[in-house]
Amino acid sequence: GGSPSSRTMTLSILLKQHSKRQIRGEFEKLHQFLREVEEARLAALRKEEEEKGKMIAREIKNNSGPDLFSHRKHHCCETRIDVWPHLSGALIDVAKHLGNLQFRVWEKMQGIVKYTPVILDPNTAARWLSLSDDLTSVRHLGKRQQLPDNPERNTICITVLDSEGFSSGRHSWEVEVGDHPEWYIDVAKDSGQYWAEHETLTLKRRPQRIRLQLDYDRGQVAFYDRMYPYFSIGQSDVVRL
């Protein structure tokens, strides 16, 4: 088994290796996305180049007179320079392919990148809990697991904290509870060393998602299952939706 310090060191190394694999995996997803977008952009450029080339070839074949070519005076004499045909739309639309390129890629990236306001802190998770790789969900294992004995880990309650704390302002987040029959949702102070008083509620209808709203400055925490748009008008008023 080894000493507690050696076990902690071994677990710390394993967690570090796991974190490295996760970071590499996430960046590989981004790299793959960028490679696919780059190839799509280059393919669009090649397609336009082919189309413009075919158009120029058709025009030259159908109108092989001198009007298609530019004429310039060179050394006091007029010389026909077969450099570029006088065709509307013959040039590659460079602005379309290069204009705001980074911004367009960033816009497209928003389709695969998800922002999560609550990221769970695995260093605070009780030993019975297992967090998802993206640190956004938690499940009960039904058994204890070997984790480092760090001070911020809760060894009494089966809980996990958010990785970011708040010291002012108003904040809100949603928790998907799904079909799980029992759960605890609250706020904690000082890394969980002090817990707010718990109140058990029995609900008539099982919710799927709970919204929490924290007003730090007023010291208020509110819980909502769902909200409905509300409308009210006077007798002489007209409202259009």
Q: How many residues does the chain have?
A: 241
Residues 6 or more apart in contact with residue 117 via CB below 8 angstroms:
171, 173
d(CA 190, CA 188): 7
**Count of alpha carbons within 13 angstroms of residue 64, beta-carbon side:** 2
**Token couple for 44:** 């669009």
Which tens digits make up the pLDDT trace of 122-131?
999 999 999 9
Q: For the chain of 241 residues, list the mean pLDDT of each consecutive stretch of 10.
A: 71 83 92 94 93 86 61 51 59 89 91 83 91 90 87 86 89 86 80 57 78 91 82 65 59
